[in-house]
A and B are shown apart, each in its own frame.
Chain A
Amino acid sequence: MSAERGAIQRMFSIRSILKALAAVSVALFVGVVATGGTYALWNSSVKIGGGTVKAGAATLVISRALTMSSTLLYPGLTTYGASEVTNSGDVPLQLNLQSLTGVTSNGFTQNLTVSVAVAPSASASVADCPALSSYPWSRVATAPTAGSLGTTLSAGASATLCVSTSLASNAPAAAQGQSAPSFTLTVGGTQP
């Protein structure tokens, strides 16, 4: 009985575990690479006892709707609006501007630049937006490619989102009275 227990102890010593770990890893790695396929072929299972694993969540919500300035734009003018975004999930999220939609191309929107930045202070208001040193995401409204907002939002944290709209100083006279009546900005968060 004592000899049998000694054999079992040797079998599960640290060295043995490492060897087994390396062997299994190499085997799996070779298998995955060799097949060039997906993990769908993984259909084996290992029963794990004695522990509980609970999945986290990445959840970004708008906790305060965007309120844009009611001032009408004219060439050279920039107006500001503010919103609040909250990371209500369990992991920090790198913020990015995924899309700007709902913009119809016309003489106004072709000369309209929309910019987005995250205010450094969570308590910032729209009054603080003009003083921001930079707006990491800034695009002509008709060509709004995605881009980073340069900020990581901790789990549970909120941040003020500053949105500026600027009309180019050389905007044509035909742009007068035109509008982007209902645009949508989608802010994304990616786990770092």
Chain B
Amino acid sequence: MRSFSFQTMRTRLAVIAGLSVFLVLAGSGVAAAVWTSAASVAGSVTAATTSLTVGGANALDTQYAFAGDASHSPTIVRTLVIKNTGTAPLGYTLSISGIAGNTLAGSVTLTLWTSTGTCPSTGVGAGSGATTGTLASPPALPSGALSAAPGASFTLCVSTALNTTIVGSQGLTVTPTFTITGTVGTSTWTASAPDATFTQTVYRMANPTSLTCSPGKSDKTVTLSWTAPVGYGSTGNVSYQVVDTAGTLIQAQPGGQTTVSIGSKDVNSTPGTLFVQAKEDLYGSTSPGVSITLGQQGNKIFCP
């Protein structure tokens, strides 16, 4: 028979006690403790900002004038440097304002392309990937100008050219404002440089100056005299014409002559207003005209 010591008895008593406690705790449904631990990490995160700069747009100020033998104006090319000065990547778009209802805006061709260097000073052909529209209907930015990483910049060549003759648009003016907007994705995070406004005008012959009236050899005529516009001598490529308020030609003076005799029969109303215009001979640009109103009584005509 196996011996049964008090040591064995004591061990079994310990087992009984331990199991009893376990069963009670497990079976009572009362909360039981679990071991836990925790540790922390720290970090930081900051949002980006958007901003950009556009340099050079004001250099597009120009007047379309005669260029050599061409009847059209030269193509004006200017360099815009667009830089993403923020800390987020930007997608760019171009919009032009200030052109609503402007007749000239649709007559100025606008061409855009990107360049790795300096843009040509005159229109010698747009670079590859160029986009073309008008000031009234601007083209999309070329592919190389659609986006930029933070800190990146690129050169955008901008050319403008009149797509009508000088005479066809003479005297017209347009003052567009270029706005290049940078946007982060499709978000409301945008940036734009201070609006770049410039003025373009189409050359028109200047009026003669110093228009004077003096009695003619009889009281049936008067003599009008004037001075040639600045830049045109008395023998330059300029002629003069006298028209009435309806634009009907009354007298023409070719070859730079700066006097004309007006008779009472030349005036259709009392008093009669006439305009003396200077006309550029080569391309036909005509000045608006300097007005003078003559008195009339019967077949007599008087200076004002």
Report Cα–Cα, A20/B18, bound state, in Å. 12
Which of B18, B19, B41, B88 is most buried by chain A, counting CB atoms within 10 A of its CB?
Answer: B41
0 or 1 for each of A52-81: is its CB under 8 Å from B? (1 = yes): 000011111110011110001111100101
Contact status B35-A21, CB under 8 Å = no
Report Cα–Cα, A178/B6, bound state, in Å. 76
Contact status A184-B41, CB under 8 Å = yes
Contact status B37-A176, CB under 8 Å = no
In the assembled complex, B128 has its CB within 8 A of some CB on chain A: no
In the assembled complex, B248 has its CB within 8 A of some CB on chain A: no
Contact status B188-A170, CB under 8 Å = yes
User: A85's closest neighbor in chain B, by CB?
Assistant: B39
Interface range, B side: 35 or more
User: A106's closest neighbor in chain B, by CB?
Assistant: B47
Contact status A62-B24, CB under 8 Å = no
Contact status A112-B41, CB under 8 Å = no
Taking chain A's interface residues, is the majority helix, strand, or loop, or is none over half, making it mixed?
Answer: mixed
In the assembled complex, B116 has its CB within 8 A of some CB on chain A: no
Contact status B23-A25, CB under 8 Å = yes
Within 8 A of A (CB), among B94-117: none
Contact status B187-A49, CB under 8 Å = no
Contact status B47-A28, CB under 8 Å = no
List chain A positions with a Cβ less than 8 A from chain B: 5, 8-9, 12, 17, 20-21, 24-25, 28-29, 32-33, 39, 46, 48-51, 56-62, 65-68, 72-76, 79, 81, 83, 85, 89, 91, 93, 98, 102, 108, 112, 161, 163, 165, 167, 169-173, 175-191
Residue numbers in B under 8 Å from A62 (CB-CB): 39-41
Within 8 A of A (CB), among B54-101: 87-89
Contact status A58-B35, CB under 8 Å = yes
Contact status B45-A12, CB under 8 Å = no
Report Cα–Cα, A12/B185, bound state, in Å. 81
* Residue of B10, B30, B39, B185 touching A60 (CB-CB under 8 A): B39
